[in-house]
């Protein structure tokens, strides 16, 4: 089991510093998660740390492709507004 | 260390970034401060209204990560045409940052201050932030170091801040009430969890206040920044000001919210209004009391370089500094000469007091005037002014109030190449917008005004005045105020308001 970073990532480094497994590395066009190292923080923390600090919605997904921070969940901007401004996606 | 003077030919910056000659309320708006604090800030452009005409600052963008979300910030944004906090074009490693700072300090000897302000929160990037400070304090001891923070991690790093000789810290404090905070901060990252709502805001406020106290206890200068968000924290900021002053902050900087929908921030998208210049000024006046208020802040980018109001970052991109060969020992000698010259000039100015106005009837009302100025004189065509300097003339004299930008934030969608294109028909003309910027002013002083703007200004109740081209701003404002007084329009105040 491992999490993944999507194209929504803005390369802010926040996740890199809090990952207990050093599983996150710099790449272009955005950071990536080494699936051999990622444990989804099981045993270390109650919640995956990358997803707990990531400021960008839709940037981190689980193996099913589900957003850990779905649209609107971090900013509180209503879905209709996100759609109006082209900031909404159904899947990664 | 005393360094020998080897040359007197280094030019001293004149005016430069800010167009006004004396946009301080008095020759020294920091006059109320104890001597040891004044000595620390007299050459700091961000703290001293006087100093910002002569000394330059730079920010290095080594701190990308953040541990809170503010409703006025969008971490996605990066546009080189924008000038607002949190925005940056080129992220630097600590090594790159050192190289850049040394290059800028050698090239711009007036640069006295290096700040780390983002684009995230410096203390959420402790490794990168403190490595930069450590190297700089060793290699460039003549540069003052500052850091800006949201305060969440401040208590745990106060000792490291003290250790690296960082004697200026800015904390952004927008509230002291968690319920107000819940409308500004949707979440914080704290003890390995994302904490939302009022609980998150409560922890943030607690850490900010604790950190502020710890800093002032150690004699580290603290400035507090607050973003004025109408309807959210406007009245509340008066309380914030009292509390931070009681805890020893020496300066409070109330800044206007920037919330444009194209920035994609919560406030931008939710159409949260920005404060009008009048609202900002009223709040700054209300918070002032006997605490120094900053009115010259330009809300710089996290990678700004140069005097306040200018950005020379383009001259120091990574590819350019790579080929610069900097001899910092030699540069320090040149820098010392320049700094001494400026301090001497500032000291000389301190003795000069703006004369009181004579011939103005007692009880005359104050008048706001906008000036298209450059280097302290009325110099610009109305249509060419990128900012207007707002002065208040009253029987007590002439004082600088604020600057108002005419071209806000962005050069336009063509230049950005990103975001939604604004319907051209929906955008008001630049002229209308500029006139709206002058709201509350009765006169606009510039070197020249065209026919079209002349008519529109008069229709808006603002008298265009092109008769004082190239005259010193304060003198021109006084002359015009006396003319208005002579015409009897300043008295009595109450009747005048009725007529208006």
Q: What is the DSSP string of B166-197?
A: --EEEEE---SSHHHHTTT-SEEEETTEEEEH
Contacts of B65 in chain A (CB under 8 A): 12-14, 16-17, 53
Angle in degrees, 0-180, between the axes of helices B277-288 and B236-246, rounded to the nearest 10: 40
Output A17-23 pairs: Cβ under 8 A, ≥24 positions apart. A17/B65, A17/B124, A17/B125, A17/B127, A18/A49, A18/A50, A18/A52, A18/A53, A18/B189, A18/B192, A19/A49, A19/A50, A20/A44, A20/A45, A20/A49
Q: How far is CA A2 from CA A9, A60, A62, B193, B407, in A?
A: 17, 11, 7, 19, 47
* Of B197, B203, B193, residue with least CA distance to B180: B197
Q: Do B67 and A56 touch (CB under 8 A)?
A: no
DSSP tag of B382: G
Quote the pLDDT of residue B33. Answer: 67
Determine the pLDDT at residue B398: 82
Task: For chain A, list residues with pLDDT below 70.
Answer: 92
**A59/B262: higher pLDDT:** A59
Q: How confident is the model at residue B301 (pLDDT cuts 50, 70, 90)?
A: low
Instruction: Report CB contact under 8 Å: A13, B120.
Output: yes
Of the ranges B326-335, B425-434, B454-463, B467-476, which one carries the lowest mean pLDDT score? B425-434
Chain B interface, best mutation among A6, A10, A12, by max B CB count within 10 A: A12
Whether the CB of A30 is below 8 Å from some CB of chain B: the reply is no
Rounded CA separation A20/B233 (Å): 38
Determine the pLDDT at residue B29: 54
pLDDT at B407 over 70: no
B244 φ/ψ angles, rounded to the nearest 5 degrees = -70, -30
> Which two structure tokens, joined as six digits, stand for B128?
């990168």
Q: Please check the confidence at residue B391 and state whether its pLDDT lies above 80.
A: yes
Q: Which whole number is the average pLDDT over B308-335?
A: 81
> How high is the pLDDT of residue B409?
35
Closest CA to B369 of B291, B216, B481, B261: B481
**B53 SS3 class:** helix
Confidence of residue B349 (pLDDT cuts 50, 70, 90): low
Is the model more confident about B290 or about B33? B33
* pLDDT reported for residue B329: 84
Question: Residue B119: is its pLDDT beyond 80?
Answer: yes
pLDDT digits (tens, 9 = 90+) for B136-152: 988 888 898 999 999 99
CB half-sphere exposure, B449, CA atoms < 13 A: 25
d(CA B214, CA B176): 17
Greatest Cα-to-Cα distance within chain B, rounded to the nearest angstrom: 68
More reliable by pLDDT, B230 or B438:
B230
Count CA within 13 A, CB hemisphere, residue B496. Answer: 15
Q: How far apart are CA B245 and CA B249, in angstroms?
A: 5
DSSP annotation of B63 reads B
Q: What is the pLDDT of residue B325?
A: 81
Q: How confident is the model at residue B87 (pLDDT cuts 50, 70, 90)?
A: low
Chain B partners of A11 at a C-beta cutoff of 8 Å? 64, 91
Pick B66's closest partner by Cβ from A12, A45, A86. Answer: A12
At B356 the pLDDT is 61
**Helix, strand, or coil (residue B445):** strand
Q: How confident is the model at residue B273 (pLDDT cuts 50, 70, 90)?
A: very high
pLDDT at B89: 64
Q: Which pLDDT does position B27 carry in this prediction?
A: 36
How many residues comprise chain B?
500
Q: Positive or negative, the Cα torsion across B270, B271, B276, B279?
A: negative
The whole-angstrom separation of Cα B378 and Cα B329 is 40
CA B432, CA B443: separation in Å to the nearest integer? 16
The model's confidence at residue B78, banded by pLDDT at 50, 70 and 90, is low
Average pLDDT over residues B218-234: 93
Chain A interface mutation, best of B71, B194, B264, highest count of A Cβ atoms under 10 Å: B194
pLDDT digits (tens, 9 = 90+) for B31-76: 566 677 777 777 777 666 667 777 888 888 899 999 999 999 887 7
CB contacts of B186 in chain A (<8 Å) are 74-76
pLDDT of residue B5: 35
Contact A56 B187 (CB under 8 A): no
Inform me whether the pLDDT recorded for B352 exceeds 80.
no
pLDDT over threshold 70, residue B383: yes
The predicted pLDDT at position B354 comes to: 54
Q: Which residue has the tokens 């710089």?
A: B300
* Minimal C-alpha gap between A87 and chain B (Å): 9
pLDDT number for residue B319: 82
In Å, how far are A12, B67, B192, B219, B377 from A20, measured between CA atoms? 17, 17, 11, 36, 59
Contact of B197 with chain A, judged by CB distance below 8 Å, is answered with: no
pLDDT digits (tens, 9 = 90+) for B451-486: 888 998 999 999 999 999 888 888 899 999 988 888
Please name every residue paired with B64 in a beta bridge, in sequence order, or none if there are none.
none
Residue A64 C-alpha, separation from nearest chain B C-alpha, in angstroms: 22
**B364/B207: higher pLDDT:** B207
pLDDT, mean of residues B71-97: 72
d(CA B87, CA B271): 20
Task: Report the chain A residue with the minimal C-alpha distance to residue B195.
Answer: A52
How many interface pairs between A and B have CB atoms less than 8 angstroms apart? Answer: 68
> Could A46 and B189 be called an inter-chain contact, meaning their C-beta atoms sit closer than 8 Å?
no
pLDDT > 70 in chain B, percent:
77
User: Cβ B270–A81 below 8 Å, yes or no?
Assistant: yes
**Residue B150 contacts A, CB cutoff 8 Å:** no
In this prediction, residue B127 has a pLDDT band, given cuts at 50, 70 and 90, of: very high
Task: Out of B188-202, B361-375, B460-474, pick the least confident.
Answer: B361-375
Nearest CA in chain B to A82: B269
Tell whether A75 is within 8 A of chain B (Cβ): yes
Task: Test B420 with A11 for CB contact under 8 angstroms.
Answer: no
């Amino acid at each position: 089991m491992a999490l993944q970073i999507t194209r929504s990532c803005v390369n802010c480094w926040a996740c890199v510093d809090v990952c207990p497994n050093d599983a996150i590395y710099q790449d272009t066009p955005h950071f990536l998660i080494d699936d051999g190292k990622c444990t989804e923080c099981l045993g270390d923390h109650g919640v995956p740390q990358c997803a707990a600090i990531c400021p960008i919605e839709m940037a981190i997904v689980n193996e099913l492709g589900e957003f850990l921070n779905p649209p609107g969940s971090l900013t509180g901007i209503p879905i209709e507004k996100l759609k109006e401004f082209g900031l909404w996606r159904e899947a990664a | 260390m005393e360094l020998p003077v080897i040359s007197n030919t280094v030019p001293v910056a004149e005016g430069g970034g800010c167009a006004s000659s004396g946009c301080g309320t008095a020759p020294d708006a920091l006059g109320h401060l104890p001597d040891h604090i004044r000595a620390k800030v007299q050459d700091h452009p961000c703290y001293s209204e006087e100093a910002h005409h002569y000394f330059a600052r730079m920010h290095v963008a080594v701190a990308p990560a953040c541990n809170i979300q503010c409703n006025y910030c969008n971490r996605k944004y990066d546009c080189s045409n924008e000038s607002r906090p949190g925005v940056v074009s080129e992220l630097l490693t600590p090594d790159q940052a050192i190289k850049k700072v040394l290059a800028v300090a050698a090239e711009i000897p007036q640069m006295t201050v290096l700040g780390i302000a983002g684009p995230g929160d410096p203390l959420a990037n402790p490794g990168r932030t403190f490595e930069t400070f450590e190297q700089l304090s060793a290699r460039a001891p003549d540069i003052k170091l500052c850091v800006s923070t949201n305060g969440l991690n401040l208590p745990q790093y106060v000792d490291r801040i003290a250790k690296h000789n960082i004697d200026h810290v800015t904390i952004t404090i927008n509230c002291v009430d968690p319920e107000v905070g819940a409308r500004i901060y949707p979440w914080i990252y704290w003890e390995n969890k994302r904490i939302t709502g009022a609980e998150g805001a409560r922890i943030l406020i607690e850490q900010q206040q604790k950190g502020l106290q710890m800093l002032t206890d150690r004699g580290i200068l603290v400035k507090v920044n607050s973003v004025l968000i109408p309807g959210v924290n406007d009245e509340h900021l008066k309380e914030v000001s009292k509390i931070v002053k009681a805890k020893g902050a020496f300066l409070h900087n109330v800044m206007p919210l920037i919330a444009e929908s194209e920035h994609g921030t919560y406030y931008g998208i939710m159409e949260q209004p920005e404060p009008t210049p009048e609202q900002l000024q009223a709040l700054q006046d209300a918070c002032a009391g006997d605490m120094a208020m900053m009115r010259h802040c330009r809300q710089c980018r996290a990678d700004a370089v140069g005097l306040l109001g200018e950005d020379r970052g383009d001259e120091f991109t990574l590819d350019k500094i790579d080929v610069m060969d900097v001899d910092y020992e030699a540069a320090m000698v040149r820098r010392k000469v320049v700094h001494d010259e400026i301090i001497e000039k500032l000291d000389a100015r301190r003795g000069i007091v703006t004369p009181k106005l004579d011939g103005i009837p007692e009880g005359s009302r104050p008048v706001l005037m906008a000036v298209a100025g450059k280097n302290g004189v009325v110099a610009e065509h109305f249509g060419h002014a990128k900012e207007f300097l707002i002065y208040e003339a009253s029987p007590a004299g002439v004082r600088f109030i604020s600057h108002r930008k005419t071209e806000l934030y962005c050069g336009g969608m063509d230049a950005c190449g990103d975001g939604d294109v604004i319907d051209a028909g929906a955008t008001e003309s630049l002229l209308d917008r500029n006139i709206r910027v002058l709201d509350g002013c009765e006169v606009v002083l510039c070197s020249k005004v065209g026919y079209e703007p002349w008519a529109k200004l008069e229709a808006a109740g603002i008298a265009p005045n092109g008769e004082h081209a190239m005259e010193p701003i304060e003198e021109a404002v006084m002359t015009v105020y006396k003319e208005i007084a002579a015409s009897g329009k300043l008295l009595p105040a109450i009747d005048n308001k009725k007529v208006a």
